[in-house]
Structure 1
């Protein structure tokens, strides 16, 4: 079976596919992106909301700034290690059971984190948060492609990114406001409330989009086989690493925000918006470009132009922070430009990956998330002591990652020059 051919048992789809024929497509196009963006927000809320509470957590637990970085790394590594399994389980059980179960466990883990008496206990529950959050974050990405295709799928994926894109800016600001209302534990109580709310929304508002006749057997061999099929695809690796590496150039600033904001820029616990808001504006602009380009510009040209712009943003970033005027607002211009290019390319790259394996989309998005999260987890921990020496080193490392993403995409274009690339 070729990578782009319909799976056995899956009927050819033209235009809009709706598992529930009675569901109005226009209405679905409005509320589905909102629900899926909310599920995707578990990721940035889990990572960014605790940042403003780090100083208080350090005094209370107690822990150093480097030790508190483990609060981020523990979540990311656990999320990455579990991510290969959420998607295949949704291919076998359906999307709703995996999403509801994962979000419910996340809520319970958040309660445990709020009640943690020391850093070691907190890290245990952060690992549990990472292991469970993918049930919502990862599986939700397959729902749009389950129900829509072509330009409509790209437009809806772009809307999800636009809504989701606000989360990294809102999360640290919200975290700063929450710790004004109470101790650092209130941040994790908020995560617990958010998890319960999402579980109820999915339970009562989101229908099943992966019907039984399209599911794979719930057997270890079948689940691992779907992952192996994805992993052995060179085309998958080229596209996945193009997306993961280019996004890592932006995530470098997100994952190390406490060091960038507090140490390198010398700002306070309520000033995270200064770094995040420009990047979110870039994400919103890029997602808008992707949505407008749907059906007008093919995937090959859109992704190429977007990644070239990200590289341009990286170069601008290096130049600006190397000048004597390397201060605000110039220090946050480069990351915002990188975000424009990344957000423009990301929806199309995700659809390309999902269309490679129409029968096991969950496995495809799981493996892609696995590579992305492991890369970001390593960047947030192992690279932190190296790249956070100065804003210039940060900018150079970010640009190198974006360039690597462009190289991976160019390699894919050369390998598929005789065949179509657009989803």
Structure 2
């Protein structure tokens, strides 16, 4: 479907009827917008050694550069989506990117770690406007199998961010000192503002918006938070991704301290792992319209849990920190996540068609808070060995599998119920 139609109950913005702009250019821009969040986590990794020496701090203190950004991202994420439900998608994306550019410039000129952390917080507060709100646009514009195909394409490009970010960061360091990394991030923000203005349509027209009132915005979040189906699906996705993010957020420790690699060697770890996630997203797109979303998600969780088990097995072997064995488990885990994550996102967005921004904000908040907590409290404790990473990842993905199994059991129960769907309690509906 290359031309979207309107219906009187759910008006949608018109797109290019020829389809090339809608099906190729827009997903690329959306993927670039969505990747700014993870890209901003990983790009400074190669510069940690320089910053640590200049600021005279230890590895644990440098981990705050990750934690401060993620915590701020999580706190603000709860507001970006509902705000876009009220004022539209583009104003939120453009405004937040403008603040992100200023924060990146401030980080580049930071004289010490304290000032740098302040600007990292500002980066985190602003980056979600692009990362979170961009996820709603595809579901605003497309339906059915096509939505899954395009969501998978976005996920494929989005998945490249953690792989290319440290590589780009390392390349920038070859041109000069660590402030250039944050200057590069500022330039990227300017490019994304330009792309949003020139390419992205406003996918949430005035007639579909909710009132811009605190009660209305917060009410949407409350409605989402009270929905049991939201929690089952959101926590399934959150725990599964947390298992993978454990390695991403702790990459500076895993790659340098455990694997003994250098500041230019992050690609050795990220390329196979993120490449596997991209392959999983490709499988998700190819499966659209061929198998049910439920079967695809279940298959993805099976691969992820299996990968985590393989990771534990290899971590107790003599090859625990040898390549390529050290990255086999994380790569299989990422493959399964790539298969399941796009469909889980669509399931969440379909829970509240008129409150998609609130849904994405709610789910992102859960994911980010868990990841920030893990990065701050868990990663420093388990980063002493490959086994610590592997066992923690297995626990996380198993919790995700349990949440998904619970959701499937509730769906099966409701299917067997003699009640009609409209007679069920809202908290029992998918």
TM-score using structure 1 length: 0.95
Q: Output the CA distance in 1 between the equivalents of 2:8 and 2:404.
A: 31
Partner residue, 1:206: 200
Matches within 5 A, 1:123-142: 123-142=117-136
TM-score using structure 2 length: 0.93
* Per-residue CA distance 1:360-404 (angstroms, 9 max, x = gap): 100000000000000000111100222112001110100110000
Q: Say whether the 8 Å CA contact 2:250–2:379 is kept in structure 1.
A: yes
In the alignment, is residue 296 of structure 1 matched against residue 312 of structure 2? no
In the alignment, is residue 237 of structure 1 matched against residue 228 of structure 2? no
Q: Say whether the 8 Å CA contact 2:99–2:126 is kept in structure 1.
A: yes
Secondary structure of 1:300's partner? helix
Q: For residues 358 and 63 of structure 1, do their structure 2 counterparts lie closer, same or farther at Cα, with a shift above 3 Å needed?
A: same
Partner residue, 1:351: 346
Cα RMSD of the aligned pairs, angstroms, is 1.7
* Distance apart, 1:44 and its partner CA: 1.9
Q: Output the CA distance in 2 between the equivalents of 1:121 and 1:255.
A: 21
Q: Output the CA distance in 2 between the equivalents of 1:324 and 1:356.
A: 47
* Distance apart, 1:21 and its partner CA: 4.9
Q: Say whether the 8 Å CA contact 2:70–2:368 is kept in structure 1.
A: yes
Partner residue, 1:6: none
Q: 1:277 aligns with which of 271, 275, 294?
A: 271
Alignment length, in residue pairs? Answer: 412
In the alignment, is residue 401 of structure 1 matched against residue 396 of structure 2? yes
**More deviation in 321-330 or 360-369?**
321-330
* Per-residue CA distance 1:27-63 (angstroms, 9 max, x = gap): 3011111001110121122100000000000111222
**More deviation in 243-252 or 200-209?**
200-209
Partner residue, 2:425: none
Matches within 5 A, 1:17-416: 19-326=13-320, 327-416=322-411
Q: Say whether the 8 Å CA contact 2:12–2:205 is kept in structure 1.
A: no
Q: Output the CA distance in 2 between the equivalents of 1:422 and 1:294.
A: 23
Q: Where in structure 1 are there 5+ consecutive unaligned residues?
A: 1-8
Secondary structure of 2:181's partner? helix
Q: Say whether the 8 Å CA contact 2:167–2:267 is kept in structure 1.
A: yes
Q: For residues 345 and 295 of structure 1, do their structure 2 counterparts lie closer, same or farther at Cα, with a shift above 3 Å needed?
A: same
Q: Where in structure 2 are there 5+ consecutive unaligned residues?
A: 1-5, 416-420, 422-427
Q: Output the CA distance in 1 between the equivalents of 2:67 and 2:8.
A: 42
